[in-house]
Structure 1
Amino acid sequence: MLVFPAIDLKEGKAVRLLQGRMEDFTVYAENPLEVAQRFFLEGSKYLHMVDLDGAFAGKPVNDGVIRKVVETVDLKVQVGGGIRSLERIEELLNLGVARVILGTVAVRDPQLVADAVRRFGGDKIIVGIDAKNGQVAVQGWAETTEMTATDLALKMKEVGVRRIIFTDISRDGMLQGPNIESTVQLAQVSQLQIIASGGVSSLEDLQKLQAQAASEVTIEGAIVGKALYSGAFTLAEALKTVGN
């Protein structure tokens, strides 16, 4: 199982939100590049980045920071936040981003996701499914839809998506543990590779996800954010726990 350390970007800084609320954030680093470099030195091969400003604005805001990280640090970077066109996907891939995460557009324009998979390949496109009480949320989690996470995952599978990042919004930034039950259910029903996100608070949480992955549940990895920034455990410890 993989561990994806997270950097959420707001106004060029590394921050963390509580349950997706833009007004409820903590700045953890003025320079996200230094954070990415630290993750690399601790042994990571991957990095998860979200342009929070872009997610709410629907357009790129923090490309300068993303470019610096991609060009400077030898990590496979996946990026999400306000990506709603093929042109934007291509821009990020041309920057050197390894994988692009599509969120709101998967609900609003599933044909664009299908076109993206066909044009750029299934390994380059990830769909982020953010759910609150089982219902998909969009627009930077500001709006909740009537669609369930499972329904959206199956719809995305039909158009060739191979990988889903699943976030239970109620757990995000709360350090209360991920919603393992819902994550496992989504993996079992969809048979897509699922990356768990939201709420990882301890090495035990990672061990539980690892156990599910070892039992042939299609959980590819976990995104870890606040737990690293708050010192609950180190990235090196997380990587050792999952056997990376």
Structure 2
Amino acid sequence: MEIIPAIDLIDGQCVRLTQGDYAQKKVYESDPLKMAKSFEAAGIQRLHLVDLDGAKARKITNDAVLKRVAENTALHIDFGGGLRTDEDLKIAFESGAKQITGGSIAVKDPETFKRWIQDFGGDKIILGADVHGENIAVSGWAESSDRKLLPFLEEYLGLGLQYVICTDVSKDGLLQGPNVALYQKILAAFPEVKLIASGGVAEFDDLKRLEDIGVYGTIVGKAFYEGRISLEQLASFA
């Protein structure tokens, strides 16, 4: 299982929100490159870099940070947050992203998202499936759509999409453990998907539980930043 640390960006700094609430922001590191290098030094190979300013502005905003991290590490970076246009994608890839993640656009502008899969390939585009219950959440989790999770996944996986990041919004940032049952349900329906679990990881044993059910990767955020899981423990998985 891949361990994928998350760096969420506001004003170029590493922050964490609780359940996507910008009013519940905590800054953990002012230099994202320093944090990224610490992950790389531990043997971690992937990084989930989220442009929270971009998510709010609905356009890529922290591309300079992306470029700096990409040019100074060998980390495989997937980048998301506010990507809406072909120009946003061009900037992200030219700045060093290996993959991009699209969430709200897959609900609100499915034709564009489908074209991205066709143009860039199912290995370059990650579907961000954030859920409130069984419904897909959009707009930085501020609202729930009427799209149900499994039919939503089926629509895009049928186009050759390979990777899905699924976040249970009710778990994110609360350090209460991941929604293992949700991920088991997804894997039972789509055994070939490269499923990346996100949200709720609170302790090292959570990583083992997710590995045991067969997820491709797990995003680790607040549990690391709050010292609940050490860099050495992440390195042991890496």
TM-score interval w.r.t. the shorter chain? Answer: over 0.9
**TM-score for both structures, normalised by structure 1:** 0.94
Judge which range, 144-153 or 165-174, deviates more: 144-153
**Cα distance, 1:187 vs. partner?**
2.0
Q: Report the CA distance between 1:89 and its aligned residue.
A: 1.4
Runs ≥4 residues deviating over 2 A? none
Q: Is residue 236 of structure 1 aligned with residue 237 of structure 2?
A: no
Equivalent position of 2:194 in the other structure: 193
Residue in 2 that maps onto 1:109 = 109
Q: Give the corresponding residue for 2:204.
A: 203
Residue type at the aligned position of 1:206: L
Report the Cα offset of residue 160 of structure 1: 2.1
Query: Which digits, 9 at most, give the CA deviation of each residue in 1:126-158, with x for residues without a partner?
Result: 010111122111111111111122121111112
RMSD: 1.2
Matches within 5 A, 1:1-244: 1-191=1-191, 192-213=193-214, 219-240=215-236, 242=237, 244=238
Secondary structure (helix, strand or coil) at the match of 1:170 reads coil
The residue type equivalent to 2:222 in the other structure is K
In structure 1, what is the Cα distance between the partners aligned to 2:123 and 2:162?
7
Q: Percent identity?
A: 38
Q: Deviations over 1:179-212 (max 9, x none)?
A: 1100111122133211000011111100101111
SS for the counterpart of 1:126 is strand
How far apart, CA to CA, are the structure 2 residues paired with 1:82 and 1:94? 16
Deviation track 1:3-37 (CA, whole Å, cap 9, x = no partner) reads 00010001111000001111111110111111111
| 2-structure distance, mates of 1:201, 1:141 | 21
Structure 1: tracts of 5 or more residues without a match: 214-218
The question of whether the paired residues in 1 share the 8 Å contact of 2:63 and 2:91 is answered with: no
Q: Is the 2:64–2:95 Cα contact (8 Å) retained in structure 1?
A: no
How far apart, CA to CA, are the structure 2 residues paired with 1:81 and 1:184?
Answer: 26
Contact map agreement 2:117 2:125 (CA 8 A) in 1:
yes
Deviation at 1:235, TM superposition (A): 2.9
- Please say if residues 43 and 236 of structure 1, whose CA atoms lie closer than 8 Å, have aligned partners that are also in contact: no
The TM-score normalised by the length of structure 2 is: 0.96
Aligned-partner SS, 2:216: strand
d(CA) in 1 for partners of 2:111, 2:41: 40
The answer as to whether partners of 1:114 and 1:160 remain within 8 angstroms in 2 is: no
Q: CA separation in 1, counterparts of 2:151 and 2:69? A: 35
8 Å CA contact 1:53–1:62 kept in 2: the answer is yes
For 1:223 and 1:128, locate their aligned partners in 2 and report how far apart those are by CA, in whole Å.
12
- How far apart, CA to CA, are the structure 2 residues paired with 1:157 and 1:197? 19
CA distance in 1, matches of 2:64, 2:126: 22
Question: Secondary structure of 1:171's match?
Answer: coil
Shift of 1:238: 2.4
Tell me, in whole angstroms, the C-alpha distance in 1 between the residues paired with 2:216 and 2:235.
Answer: 14
State the AA in 1 paired with 2:196.
Answer: I
**Aligned residue pairs: how many?**
237
Amino acid at match of 2:195: I
Take 2:99 and 2:231, find their aligned partners in 1: how far apart are those partners?
Answer: 21
